[in-house]
A and B are shown apart, each in its own frame.
Chain A
Amino acid sequence: MRFALLTLSLWLASLIGTFAAGAGHALPLDAQRLHDWLPVSNSMVMVWMAVGVIVLFCRMATGKMTLVPAGLQNFAEWAVESLYSFLENLMGPHLTKRTFWFFGTIFFFILVTNYLALIPGVGTVGWYLKDSAGHAAGFLPILRGGNADINMTAAMGFTFALLWIYWAVTEIGFGGLAKHIFAPKGSFNGIMQAMMVPIFLFVGVLEIISIAIRPVALSFRLFGNIYGGEQTLEKLMALVPEWLAFLPALPFYFMELLVGFVQALVFTLLCAIFLKLICDHGDEHH
């Protein structure tokens, strides 16, 4: 109890110092290129690490599968089955069976990448750059959170957008898609029907804009949340003496653990809902 109170006091004291001093160090918005001619950024290294962790975990969990699960296999089965059931309740059995490979990947990849970005050293281990005159020209971290790079979140968002349209067309056809966008919602008769045509044409145009914006919104939402979290940690750590840097950031690490999970879930959930909404007319025929 005494330790907790002491920790809290120190943390509050460091925060006061932090805000009094003002923020100095800031995480750049863009991922930095690590090599002059090789298109490799520091966030890309993190993504490869995430791929490595996923491959390692999968090999360990599913290398020798048995009908009676134990250890990692049990955990992996629980995680996959829980997500599958969650999506099945949301999208129905047909769409889930068809698209789980994508939604499962989205969720686990975002989750692993977000959590890997919280490992100490990400964003802090690197080297100081110097210009041709030998003056300091900034700090280049070797690692940067995978989802704190708009290129990564946009890659996922626009991949989803393409698959979204593909799944919608294969489920309900071009006609069904056009109907979903432009057809009047509700039943109108006579003159009202004629009057509603231009209105729903306009609504359809808005719907197209909305559909076009959704992958952008998905990308920026994830990027913003993860970048914001990392920026918060950076700011808090940079504004206290180095030997105390861990302390103000400590509570926010727990919050970032929650944010990492929530953001993975939100991205997956929104993609699933978008797909469900656009394929809903198709599902009625199944």
Chain B
Amino acid sequence: MFSFLASATQPNALETIKDTFGLHGAFFAAQVINFFLVIFVLKKFAFGPIQAILEQRRTRIVEGEEKLKRIEKQLADSEATTAAAIAKANEDALRLVAEAREGAAAFSEQKSQEAIAQAQQILAKAEAAGNADRERISTELKREFGRLIAATTTQVTGKVLTLEDQQRINEEALSKVGN
């Protein structure tokens, strides 16, 4: 060891080191070539494909994350839209119900009025018909009463009554009976 150190300080130290450790130009060059061969092999068959797939996976993860965020945002938007639509539908439904109620009330009122009018009309007609019937019956009764009076008078008196007599007796009898 000490002899090696001593020799290393000599002018031909490099030669001594080369000889001691077997550093040869041809071997050195061959090992450099070997080393570059390893670099080529590893770069082509290991680092290249592995880094490519790692990058691909990283990209996919980033894309997935972005997609997830987009989906979450879309979901939130969709929920907000749905909630707004439901609120609007609710509001519309309430408005329609109110309108329907108002419409129903108005319709009911209208129908009631119509029914009342019809009923009044029917009552008026019935009253008019009743009055007409009473008038007709009264006229018939008067006529029958007159005829009965005239017949009775004819049978009692044995006198054939003229039209004027019949009319006079009827009027007298009717004025006593009243209307």
Contact = CB atoms under 8 A, between A and B. Distances in A.
Note whether A and B form a binding pair. Answer: yes
Interface of A: 28-31, 39-41, 44, 47-48, 50-51, 54-55, 58-59, 61-62, 65, 67, 69, 76-77, 80-81, 84, 100-102, 104-105, 108-109, 149-152, 154-156, 158-159, 223
A205 B172 CA distance: 169
Given A30-B21, A80-B51, A151-B23, A108 B42 contact: yes
A112 to B, nearest CB: 9
A156 B39 CA distance: 11
Contacts of A61: 46, 50
Contact of A80 (B27, B35, B47): B47
Contacts of B76: none
B35 A109 contact: yes
Contacts of A151: 22-24, 27-28, 30-31
Contact of B45 (A47, A59, A102, A223): A59
A76 to B, nearest CB: 6
A104 B42 contact: yes
B60 interface: yes
B137 interface: no
B160 interface: no
Nearest to A104: B47
B53 interface: yes
B126 interface: no
Nearest to A97: B51
A80 B46 CA distance: 9
A255 B158 CA distance: 173
B103 interface: no
B22 A159 contact: no
B50 A62 contact: yes
Where chain A touches its partner, the secondary structure class is helix
Nearest to A67: B57
A152 to B, nearest CB: 5
Nearest to A29: B21
Contacts of A80: 46-47, 50-51, 54
Nearest to A31: B22
A105 B34 contact: no
B175 interface: no
Interface residues of B, number: 31
Contact of B41 (A41, A58, A223): A58
Contacts of B43: 101, 105
A52 to B, nearest CB: 10
Interface centre among B26, B43, B50 (most CB of A within 10 A): B50
Interface centre among B20, B42, B43 (most CB of A within 10 A): B42
B56 interface: yes
30 contacts: A28-B22, A30-B21, A30-B23, A31-B22, A40-B30, A44-B31, A51-B37, A51-B38, A54-B42, A58-B45, A59-B45, A62-B49, A65-B50, A65-B53, A67-B57, A77-B50, A80-B46, A84-B51, A105-B38, A108-B46, A149-B27, A150-B21, A151-B24, A151-B31, A154-B28, A154-B31, A155-B31, A155-B32, A155-B35, A156-B35
A41 B22 CA distance: 11
A155 B28 contact: yes
B38 A44 contact: no
Contacts of A69: 53
Contacts of B28: 151, 154-155
Interface string B82-95: 00000000000000
Contact of A44 (B30, B41, B47, B57): B30
Nearest to B19: A30
A101 B39 contact: yes
A67 B49 contact: no
A69 B23 CA distance: 44
A108 B47 CA distance: 11
Contact of A223 (B21, B51, B57): B21
Interface string B40-72: 011101110111011011001000000000000
Interface centre among A100, A149, A155, A159 (most CB of B within 10 A): A155
Nearest to B32: A155
A58 B54 contact: no
A141 B56 CA distance: 47
